[in-house]
């Protein structure tokens, strides 16, 4: 058996050779595992390449450790968890880098993967849509998650003043567009997603501040009633998690929504995108995901309930969880105080919380970064219907729209064939209703 490095790899045992080299056990290990008849040839050129690889990635490991733990806190960011030991982290990083490079070489040479199906990489696996796949990208994702947890710890606390963030409107009152500028949070995913897009990305200069907006009367009463009817029929037979039942309105859900339901949902997605673009004065804003959500109180029970205790109102930052999100939007189909109690949208600022009432026909949209940590207040009565949407400023990171597979309507507006993840093969946008029960 001959083993080399990269282009000199001559057999399916390259992974064994490379891993053994790292630990200085190549000859003895191969002899013990595969017998003395296997010859191993390690050229000086291969040794030099290996040394360069390890030197480069050790420096990356040092940088990754500083990025994640220079504040003296672990990944939970709560001050109660100590960072891992530096040496152990760097060795773990190097081993994972070598495994990945070995995997790449073996796949390039047509050999089967050496990584077992149930083997977990030492860095936490990021599985969401648009999640970074490279090690550097995953390190940045870990840092972003840490920043989100720190923001929750700092801002979500009892005793803060509660402010009503926008005038409460009654459908048909034609309330003007309302907006509020807020200080931008620390930028997220600047290194391994995409850079700020001028005139579109939140915080991209004074022309596009971080903000919150309300646009009332985006839908008619007839459209609201039809959407609630369509959602009830489309969500029938899907699994529930706590108070939530969800459906991703994409090409795969057309059968559930039906032709009329698909067309109406696509029309509302287009109308919402146009409203956001007009308010922000942005000509190019691309679709990055959507979700039809009904919340029930009390939660629906029965065999379709996956987790009755599931917390549906956790505070979160949209861009911290999906890197391509730049602007988030919510379109409500019924009203708090009339059709349900609780369920208000709550923004957690540093010194106060801001409450926004869900009102039928109301579109609420906001920049997706740390400045807009938010959650839904717990419900106490009724059903709450909403279409959640997310938009990106990056055309190459747009995702297909509801009608993209039919060639109709707004596919190109929402990205169409230009759809491309960040540096991952995961499409992420899971539909809770499609989950199968464990047998």
pLDDT tens-digit readout, 75-106: 987 767 889 999 999 999 998 998 888 888 88
Q: Which pLDDT score, from 0 to 100, does residue 93 have?
A: 92
Task: Answer yes or no: do 102 and 170 share one domain.
Answer: no
| 171 shares a domain with 109 | no
Same domain, 312 and 378: yes
Tokens 């064939």 sit on residue: 417
255 and 313 both lie in a single domain: yes
Does 285 reside within a domain? yes
pTM for the structure as a whole? 0.79
Residue 367 lies in a domain: yes
pLDDT of residue 413: 33
Same domain, 193 and 303: yes
Q: Are 344 and 267 found together in one domain?
A: yes
Residues of the chain with confidence (pLDDT) below 50:
1-16, 18-35, 117-118, 120-127, 170-171, 405-439
According to the model, what pLDDT value does residue 429 have?
34
Residue 106 confidence (pLDDT): 81
191 and 101 within one domain: no
Confidence (pLDDT) at 400: 72
Residue 134 domain-assigned (yes or no): no
Residue 145 falls inside a structural domain? no
298 with 417, same domain: the answer is yes
Long-range contacts at 258-265 (CB < 8 A, ≥ 24 apart): 258/230, 258/234, 260/230, 261/230, 261/234, 262/402, 262/403, 263/409, 264/223, 264/226, 264/227, 264/230, 265/227, 265/230, 265/292, 265/387, 265/402
Residues with Cβ < 8 Å from 329, sequence gap 6 or more? 272, 276, 363, 364, 365, 366, 388, 389, 390, 391
351 and 430 part of one domain: yes
Number of domains in the chain: 2
**Residue 142 belongs to a domain:** no
The CA–CA distances, whole Å, from 413 to 310, 316, 387 equal 36, 28, 19
Question: Is residue 174 domain-shared with residue 55, that is, in the same domain?
Answer: no
Residue 105 lies in a domain: yes
Q: Which domain holds residue 355?
A: 162-434
Last residue of a domain, one of 114, 131, 153: 114
- Identify the CATH number of the domain in which residue 280 sits: 2.60.120.620
Residue 65 within any structural domain of the chain: yes
Residue 1 falls within a domain, yes or no?
A: no
Question: How many other β-carbons are positioned within 10 Å of the β-carbon of residue 428?
Answer: 17
Look at residue 67 in the predicted model and tell me its pLDDT. Answer: 92
Alpha carbon distance 394, 409 (integer Å): 21
pLDDT (0 to 100) of residue 44: 75
Q: Last residue of a domain, which of 76, 91, 114? A: 114
């Amino acid at each position: 058996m001959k083993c080399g490095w990269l282009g000199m790899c001559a057999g399916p045992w390259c992974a064994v050779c490379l891993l053994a080299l790292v630990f200085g056990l190549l000859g003895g290990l191969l002899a013990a595992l595969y017998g003395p008849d296997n010859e191993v040839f390690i050229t000086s050129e291969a040794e030099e390449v290996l040394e360069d690889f390890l030197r480069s990635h050790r420096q990356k490991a040092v940088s990754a450790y500083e990025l994640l733990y220079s504040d003296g806190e672990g990944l939970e960011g709560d001050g109660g968890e100590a960072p891992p030991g530096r040496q152990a982290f760097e060795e773990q990083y190097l081993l994972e880098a070598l495994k990945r490079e070995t995997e790449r070489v073996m796949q390039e040479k047509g050999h089967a993967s050496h990584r077992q199906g149930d083997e977990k990489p030492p860095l936490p696996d990021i599985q969401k849509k648009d999640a970074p796949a490279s090690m550097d990208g995953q390190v940045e994702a870990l840092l972003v998650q840490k920043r989100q947890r720190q923001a929750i710890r700092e801002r979500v606390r009892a005793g803060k003043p509660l402010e009503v963030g926008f005038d409460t409107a009654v459908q048909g009152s034609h309330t003007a567009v309302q907006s509020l500028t807020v200080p931008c949070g620390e930028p997220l995913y600047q290194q391994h997603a995409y850079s700020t897009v001028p005139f579109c990305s939140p915080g991209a200069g004074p022309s596009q501040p971080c903000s919150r907006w309300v646009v009332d009367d985006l839908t008619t009463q007839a459209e609201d009633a039809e959407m609630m009817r369509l959602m009830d029929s489309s969500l029938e037979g899907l699994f529930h998690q706590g108070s939530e039942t969800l459906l991703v309105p994409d090409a795969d859900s057309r059968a559930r929504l039906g032709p009329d339901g698909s067309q109406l949902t696509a029309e509302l997605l287009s109308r919402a995108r146009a409203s956001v673009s007009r308010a922000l004065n942005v000509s190019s804003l691309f679709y990055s995901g959507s979700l039809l959500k009904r919340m029930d109180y009390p939660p629906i029970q029965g065999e379709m309930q996956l987790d009755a205790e599931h917390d549906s109102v956790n505070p979160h930052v949209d861009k911290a969880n999906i890197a391509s999100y730049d602007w988030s939007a919510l379109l409500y189909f019924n009203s708090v105080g009339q059709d349900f109690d609780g369920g208000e949208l709550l923004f957690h600022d540093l010194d106060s919380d801001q409450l926004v009432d869900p009102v039928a026909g109301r579109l609420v949209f906001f920049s997706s970064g740390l400045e807009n940590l938010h959650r839904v207040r717990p419900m106490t009565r009724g059903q709450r219907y909403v279409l959640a949407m997310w938009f990106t400023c990056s055309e190459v990171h747009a995702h297909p729209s509801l009608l993209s597979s039919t060639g109709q309507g707004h596919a190109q507006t929402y990205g169409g064939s230009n759809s491309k993840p960040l540096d991952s093969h995961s499409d992420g946008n899971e539909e809770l209703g499609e989950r199968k029960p464990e047998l």
